[in-house]
Amino acid sequence: MRYLPMVKYILKRWVKALVLLSALLLGFALAEMLSMTISPSTSISVAQTLPPCSAIPRLLQAPNPKAAAPLPPNLPGISSPRPAPQIDRVGFPENYQNEFKLIYVVDRPDNKQVRVICGNDIAAAVKPGKTFPYGSVFVMEIYHAKQDANGNILKDEKGQYIREALTAIFVHRKEKGFGADYLDDRSGEWEYIGYRPDKTYLPNAAPGKTNACASCHLRQAGKSEDYVFRKE
């Protein structure tokens, strides 16, 4: 009987330890559930595994896209541009070369271009088949492909186009309510803009002139892809 107080003391300590351990395990489980609930379609860790936009490794080469469908013509007797936002709400993403993630690179034999597609962390973290959350931004750099004196495209040792001059930077952003000004050519809640390398607007993709971008994403990428051309 003289050992009974000691046994009770040891049992109490064990009970307290078990209660504390159970509370810790429950806390970890709840934290994991909350993280999954807050962001069901994104995972920043996925974006962190991608290289920066400036890396451009060719292992992310994407297949050539389908030829774009012709855009609907203007109605007879109407010479005004097709509807598009009149102001730039997309904006040029400063330092995107280092802050955005490289998504894929595609060679375009139809126009002798190399296109480099990059996205911010929000966009780059979206898993296949999921919609893009507000705040997603994509950049498409367009380069001339290097050619010989006869206009034939030159390729590297892996059979892929060699980038030469950067000619254009297209940007599209998704935000709540974006895209309404495109009317029937609206591609979800995305808006588009085009810049020269010096950050001035491209004449054919300046504010008020981006309908072709929305129309292409509407008809070629489509609703099932949230109007984004994705890496296959």
Tens place of pLDDT per residue across the chain (232 aa): 555 555 555 556 655 655 555 554 544 444 443 333 333 333 444 455 677 777 665 444 444 444 444 444 443 433 457 999 999 999 999 999 999 999 999 999 999 999 999 999 999 999 988 999 999 999 999 999 999 999 999 999 989 999 999 999 999 999 999 999 999 999 999 999 999 999 999 999 999 999 999 999 999 999 999 999 987 6
Q: What burial class does residue 86 get, using C-beta atoms within 10 Å of its C-beta: 0-12 exposed, 13-18 middle, 19+ buried?
A: exposed
pLDDT for res 230: 87
- For the chain, the residue count is 232
Instruction: Please give the radius of gyration of the chain, using alpha carbons only, rounded to the nearest integer.
Output: 26
pLDDT for res 51: 77
- Distance, in Å, from the CA atom of 202 to the CA atom of 45, rounded to the nearest integer, reads 35
Strand order through the sheet with 190-195? 101-108, 113-119, 137-145, 163-174, 190-195
Tokens of 47: 């974006």
Model confidence, pTM: 0.71
pLDDT for res 72: 45
Q: Please, are residues 192 and 90 in contact by the beta-carbon 8 Å criterion?
A: yes
Residue 182's Cα: distance from chain center in Å? 21
pLDDT for res 135: 98
pLDDT for res 47: 54
Tokens of 2: 């003289």
* CATH number for the domain formed by residue range(s) 41-225: 3.50.70
pLDDT for res 58: 47
**Phi and psi at residue 116, to the nearest 5°:** -115, 120
- Distance, in Å, from the CA atom of 179 to the CA atom of 165, rounded to the nearest integer, reads 31
Going from N- to C-terminal start, the domains of the chain cover: 1-38, 41-225
